[in-house]
Amino acid sequence: MHPVERHLFATDFKDLAGTHLQGTIALSDELINLGIMDFLAGLKAEPAPSAPAAPDQDPAEARPDPRKLLSLLQVNQLEVKAKDGRIVVAVDVKM
């Protein structure tokens, strides 16, 4: 895990308080395909019970649940559309 990412998760994203993100992001076909594959895999797989980290794995390296970050966001706009053959996401989000 990147040190910045580790710090953000360790501090419960407090450093991002007051942050405002507004813009338009073009999504690559590869990213869309990864999202579709993750979604389909989730439909097929039975939800696994939460297991403690393996003894040889540092708990700080474990990926936290992304829902924790999402619960901190105030979403004012989230619009997904196709434009010029690309998928575009317009966002306006505050922390």
Domain locations in the chain? Answer: 3-43+62-94
- Cβ distance 6 to 76 under 8 Å? no
Listed as own residue / partner, the contacts of 58-63 with beta carbons closer than 8 Å and 24 or more positions apart are 60/1, 60/6, 60/10, 61/1, 61/6, 63/1
Q: What pTM was estimated for this model as a whole?
A: 0.55
Measured distance CA(92)–CA(75) in Å, rounded:
6
Is residue 86 over pLDDT 90? Answer: no
Q: Tokens 């039975």 sit at which residue?
A: 46
Task: Quick: pLDDT tens for 7-63.
Answer: 888 888 888 889 998 999 898 888 888 888 888 887 876 655 655 555 555 655 667
The predicted pLDDT at position 24 comes to 92
